[in-house]
Structure 1
Amino acid sequence: MKLELISKYPARESPAPPLLFVHGAWHGAWCWDVHFLDFCAANGFEAHALSLRGHGQSEGHDKLRWTGIASYVEDVAAVAGRMARPPIVIGHSMGGFVVQTYLETRAAPAGVLVAAVPPTGFLPGLLRAARRHPWIFSKTQLTQDPYHFVATPELAREVLFSAGMSDALVETYWRQLQNESFLAFLSACIGRPRPTRVKSPMLVLGGGADATILPSEVQATARAYGTTAQIFPATAHDMMLEPKWRDVANAILAFAKTIAGTPDPRAPNVS
């Protein structure tokens, strides 16, 4: 399986573990490449973002509808296995669900969950969406196509972006969204990752303005992993693309530097 991998490297080789970013539903590696990959490389970390099968430039688009979470976990394992050192794995939204499942059976220096589907699944979020848009919910079930939830820039803003995001940027990002696996979407609703099996240290982040994964759900996820969530005010679901993305990136870098054992846990604010 050919998988797209976008990689950025620091000016000097570092003994720190690399960072491996995993996107969520409707996205691809591109969403991390807008800001995060160069930012992390400028701060001394090797940074990689993969497109899961059926996404971006990866193979598997023809079988996307019935691709399951287990296949996405295999993709993460395949990419991580090719790296010289085990990476810190960072997952957004459904990608956070994938990362949680991956860490149940695989060792990693650490994991980071960014507005991630909680261990209890996405069913409460789906029911909220069904109440807001019953016709879209019905179309999704009838056509087995979750793209209906983000089929217009207005819907994409509601699901992914904050009021502070310009209309022009929303449209730019919306044009890069794509279809998502119906099977993976269902699995994320009813699946149950097992936090007690995860031995890696975890960082859990959420957005205070996220209408898709509520702050209370992020806090519950953090409790399940024995840690405390960091909630970023006025930040919506696509935390890596939001206007205050640097705050999110700096939190990840601070955590990664602590894991790497560097003396200064604060990441400089590199533009």
Structure 2
Amino acid sequence: MRGREWARPVRPARREVLSALPEVEQGRPPLLFVPGFGHGAWAFAEHWLGHAAGRGFPAYALSLRGHGGSEPAPEATLRAYTHDVTQVAAGLPRQAVLVGHGAGALVVRHALARYPARAAVLAAPVLGDWATLGTALRRNPGGTLPAFVGAGLRLSRRQLFSRELPDAEARRYAARIGHAGRRAQWQLLTHRDPEPAVGDPPVLVVGSPDDRVVPPAALTRAARRHGGAPLLFPGMGHDLMLDVRWREPIDAILDWLEKEHPPA
């Protein structure tokens, strides 16, 4: 029993959920994509939602409170974000696969302790380790340091995308990126490790060795926590779902899910 959940429940919030469904039901588990801080459901709606649906997976993307088209929430916490994920996942037609990107991967890890997911995918996971923080400070001190005093964390184009992405697209995406709640940003650095996952679902870690936000060593550590090795895509930026070669990681994720959960 979690006494705090009863004594101080998370405030309800209006949440944006975008979806793409396959033309023919194939019995595959639904996917719930959880974007990282500053990103909304739109980041997955650009490419990955439709692509997953085209391969037979019902696909949904959530904007955490304060992000995208969800209700503003400047004082949101990691606990509130976790509540958003578990509530949306519980409302899907079948037991879902949780896919978290960036800091959304940390939210997914917390949600796994409350929701019995079929499986989980951590894409370019920002899990609050100090190695990742050191990389961010070294490569983008002007955008990282303000987060320590409550201002918004700002990631540069070089951190988010590869050089292959045309400047016009990079600017369009960057213009849509907002900020997480200041408390949630601080908790990203000071949070406790998530509780054990319910049911011990399989977990896949994907990322790029050329990610300028998450260093390769952090990807390896994240994968080892779940008894595996990271699946790497050289030459890509942090925002795998928006970069030029976006098909490669999502196809690899779906291939892995097909092996774990063949069609009913």
Q: What TM-score do you get using the length of structure 2 for normalisation?
A: 0.89
1:44 aligned partner: 56
2-structure distance, mates of 1:248, 1:158: 19
2-structure distance, mates of 1:69, 1:14: 34
How many angstroms does 1:75 deviate by? 0.4
Q: 1:129 aligns with which of 125, 130, 136?
A: 136
How many angstroms does 1:13 deviate by? 1.2
2-structure distance, mates of 1:138, 1:23: 22
2:241 aligned partner: 240
1:201 aligned partner: 202
How many angstroms does 1:36 deviate by? 0.3
2:43 aligned partner: 31
2:14 aligned partner: 2
Corresponding residue SS for 2:112: helix
Deviations 1:120-140 (A, max 9, x none): x24322233334444544433
1:224 aligned partner: 225
CA separation of 1:135 and 1:33: change in aligned 2, threshold 3 A: closer
More helix per residue: 1 or 2? 1
CA separation of 1:186 and 1:124: change in aligned 2, threshold 3 A: farther
1:212 aligned partner: 213
2-structure distance, mates of 1:20, 1:83: 9
Runs of 4+ in 1 over 6 A off after TM superposition: none
1:116 aligned partner: 125
How many angstroms does 1:74 deviate by? 0.5
Corresponding residue SS for 2:113: helix
> Structure 2 matches for 1:45-84, cutoff 5 A?
45-59=57-71, 61=72, 63-64=73-74, 66-84=75-93
> Which ranges in structure 1 are unaligned for 5 or more consecutive residues?
264-271
2:108 aligned partner: 99
Maintained 8 Å contact 1:109/1:259: no
> Which ranges in structure 2 are unaligned for 5 or more consecutive residues?
1-12
CA separation of 1:134 and 1:236: change in aligned 2, threshold 3 A: closer
Q: Percent identity among equivalent residues? A: 34
> Structure 2 matches for 1:161-200, cutoff 5 A?
161-194=161-194, 196-197=196-197, 199-200=200-201
Maintained 8 Å contact 2:207/2:231: yes
AA matched with 2:178 = Q
How many angstroms does 1:196 deviate by? 4.8
AA matched with 1:235 = M
Q: What TM-score do you get using the length of structure 1 for normalisation?
A: 0.87
CA separation of 1:244 and 1:137: change in aligned 2, threshold 3 A: closer
CA separation of 1:136 and 1:47: change in aligned 2, threshold 3 A: closer
AA matched with 1:41 = A
How many angstroms does 1:105 deviate by? 3.0
